[in-house]
Structure 1
Amino acid sequence: MRSTIICGLAILAGVSLGACIPYSVGSTARTVPAGEHTRASTAFVIPNGFEAKGDTTAATMPGLDTELRYGIDDRSDFGVRVPSWSGVVVNYKHRVDAKPAAAAADTGVAVAVMAGGGFVNWGQHAEGELSLIVSAREDRRAVPYGGLRVVQVVPLSSDVPSDRPTAGGFLGLRLGGRDAGVTPEIGIYYDHSALGIRRSDLIIVPSITFRGDFLSSLFH
């Protein structure tokens, strides 16, 4: 009975604050080509995302984000993300490395900065985010990437709790092509719970991002 109650509270807590934050990045440093677009869905979990004080029972907190990205020019794109169906975040990604003029020559390490903001937690919080992304050459079927990420939410009414910044790093591996594939990722973040639903401020967030027809991309 107690486990059932805790699972229910975990779901409510995730909807109210924690799992509505877009933790995962799910993409490399390279941007979508100008005039093109991609779509992606990211499923993630926070193990022990809800832990009752004085109790050994813990529950996993799930999340599901969807995102569309549109290419602006040869160095930048923007994305529209819906985090856990409870908000909207718009972000802008810009490459800061010395990108070759010819796409065929772009086989080195790519570095990008991605900044964004929007509304999360059913409009209860404004959200701002900043990420630094570094990824390997992309003329391969497996592309490793990683970086640093900071997310801050700000309450929009006096009865909504304030929160500290969420900050940490992430590592991922894009399998398949740019337009279709699957991307496992793991992030480690400092994430203080404003609602006191966790004993630890350190969370590990495994995720997997699906782009287009990823099964076809893996075998062709």
Structure 2
Amino acid sequence: MDIAILTFDGFNELDSFIALGILNRLRADGWKAQITSPTARVTSMNGVVVEAQQPLEFANRADAVIFGSGIYTRAIAENSALLDSFQLDPLRQLIAGQCSGTLLMARLGLLSDLPACTDLTTKPWVVQAGVRVVDAPFHAKGPIATAGGCMSSQYLAAWMMVKRAGVEAATKALHYVAPVGEKDVYVERVLKVVEPFVE
């Protein structure tokens, strides 16, 4: 299971790194999430410089894609040359977006009439793009998911794991990253959010 975590300049570290860390807990099962960027290096909103593990084209052949968010996403959404480089396929791929990453999904026509989640800052832009925003941390239908709020990256990761590896594998991965003393409660809460959206 190859997963592209789309990460652009000005990215939010919590979006990219939390999903990366959780999804790679299934590495022994053949899962590999990688930072995927349009340039060799990207700088986060807080000045952290990261080397891309994969070029942007990797997203087109990956099994799953996560659109992370960042402070320049609105400008990226207007970059038609960059958006035209995506040839994503919901029939083959799981595709998810977090916060302003939802705006990129909207611009690519991936949301159509689906309700979507995003952060409060991005909400007006997503609405302007013709998408109905719901007041929830996570929503999914079929192979498309969106999440709102930095810490909701855990829901995107959990949803992907449940859909493609099953509840048992997802539970094991989430249990590993959960805070000590709260592991069972944490896993139960995360799965309660995502399981209703898994057919």
Normalized against structure 1, the TM-score is what? 0.28
**Which one has a bigger Cα radius of gyration?**
1
Normalized against structure 2, the TM-score is what? 0.30
Normalized per residue, the structure richer in helix is 2
